[in-house]
A and B are shown apart, each in its own frame.
Chain A
Amino acid sequence: MWPVAIITFYEGVRSRVLYGIFIFSLFIMFLSVIFASFFMQEIGKVAVDFNLSSISFAGLLISLSLSVGLISKDLDKKTIYFVLSKPISRAEYIFGKYIGLIFVIFFSYIILGILTCIPLLFLQSEYQLYFDTFSWLSYLQAIYFDFLKLVVFNSVIIFFSTVTSSSFITMLFSVSIYIAGQTINEVVNFISVNMVGLEMSATLKMTVQTLKYAIPNFAVFDFKVISAHGLLISVEEFFIFSGYGVGYALITLLLAAVIFQRKEFL
């Protein structure tokens, strides 16, 4: 598994796409300095939210650009023959690819996190009054959970990569799941609230319940607003959310490994 993870990491960090995303994020982050200055109040909250959003957006772009083609490219170019001719099982290949990719994202998040500190430190020194509730720990907490969101999202991308060999279909399904995952909480709440007093059909109830657990709930990893207010979650919540993310990714990858095991490479 580790040899695959190592080459995936090397390939990922040397990809030109990654540099393009970094430059774009850098531009957006420094734009936050100008953007935050437009506000007469809450400058600190706007700056934190803006920088966390740019990290999140960059993370999403990295995932979509690197992860979607990760396995399909190996199948298209037949590199898979070279890798699987070594004593590497198909499950190890899936997990190795995933771990390499997660390391690339982790590495990118460290750089992006450090880069966002520059505009934040500048704004903090300029507008000290508006940073009274700001907490670096809370900021780090938001970055950590955003990273965890990508841990889950990339497992979903890998899963679809094993279902289809087409990058386009993988992208289509993954983006759909991402959008559904961002809104599933609201949809479930909306249906429950609107169904009060009305009898929900058993089929609809079952569909909603199934979707609630099948689709990853990305909203639980969104700590941007909490971080903007400098708040921290309890240790118990921290482990519950982390466990949910890691558990979901693990189950998705195991399913991906089972599907990949059955594949033939003609």
Chain B
Amino acid sequence: MIEVVNVSKMIKKNNFRNIKVEILNNVSFRVRENKIVSIVGPNGAGKSTSIKIIMKFVRATSGSVKVRDGVKIGYLPENPYYYDYLTFRELLRFSTRAFKVDSRSAARQIGHLSERVGLSHCLDKRLRTFSKGMVQRAGLAAAIVHDPDLIILDEPMSGLDPLGRRMVFDLITDLKSQGKTVLFCSHILSDVERLCDEVVIMHKGSVHKELAREDLIRAQKQTEIVVSDDPFVRKQLLASDMTFEVTDGFLNVYVLAGEINNALNILQDNNIDIVMIKPSEITLEKIFEEITV
């Protein structure tokens, strides 16, 4: 859906002295169809700039960005600000008009989405009366009201209370189940860990690591059960759909905190001897810290 290849971006730091700084350095990543991909990284890592280049707000100094032809994009900017005197309904109508959605479908979508983001009672209120969290919800609705194929969200959880975060989490999951592709930036690693199929970790303008679904699953597992390595044991673990890794003659089985009892029962039922149980050392946060600190 999106292919970013060796993208670099230089900006002028000082117009008079012609001093330039590189804010993106050979950034490459791919967003495949029907996947949820997140770009994570500390402030100034180049996440938003990468998104702005994909959205064509900024031109890359070198490299290329390809977005599949004819794809409808929905975009939520970071800390969005909309027109003060417009109502929420008018904001959504702007989006549907811009995408030439017919009036009947637009009215249906506006009704559905305003309810989905918990703002159906505010449809005819002016945006200047909205709180920060409400603006964020309104922006989210405006980004997807035209039923886009690709949704790009810059810090969608920003300014939201726990309920709002939950709503965004569920919304992104729903979008994936509808076959949509989602690319988003976030600082909230626990949500990224649970939501994404792939994670791109950026630091100082470069991509430092790309994690696939398997890496994330491993990162999500909070506990490691160490068992002896044996072809029979491997076979049993695979049959039981358990995630494991081979290290120094042992098998490290990664288990979610809430599934330990179940995992232990499976291991005992298959007569697999447990060597050790310990907290997992791999989490997305740990990977993130290793790269950025």
Interface residues of A (CB under 8 A from B): 2-3, 6-7, 10-11, 14-15, 77-82, 84-88, 264-266
Contacts and interface: CB of A to CB of B under 8 A. Distances in A.
Contacts of B11: 266
A7 B62 CA distance: 36
A251 to B, nearest CB: 26
Contacts of B81: 77-79
A25 B75 CA distance: 42
Contacts of A77: 81
Contact of B94 (A3, A84, A266): A3
Contacts of A2: 97
B52 A266 contact: yes
Given A10-B85, A11-B85, A266-B11, A88 B80 contact: no
B284 interface: no
A94 to B, nearest CB: 15
B99 to A, nearest CB: 6
B73 interface: yes
Given A78-B77, A264-B58, 8 more contacts: A7-B94, A81-B55, A84-B56, A86-B95, A87-B99, A264-B59, A266-B57, A266-B58
A82 B57 contact: no
Interface of B: 11, 49, 52, 55-59, 73-75, 77, 79-86, 90, 94-95, 97-99, 139, 142-143
Nearest to B128: A14
B85 A81 contact: no
Contact of A7 (B59, B75, B90): B90
A264 B55 CA distance: 11
B90 A3 contact: no
A81 B58 CA distance: 11
Contacts of B83: 7, 10-11, 79
A15 B99 contact: no
A85 B82 contact: no
A14 B99 contact: no
Nearest to A16: B85
Contacts of A14: 85
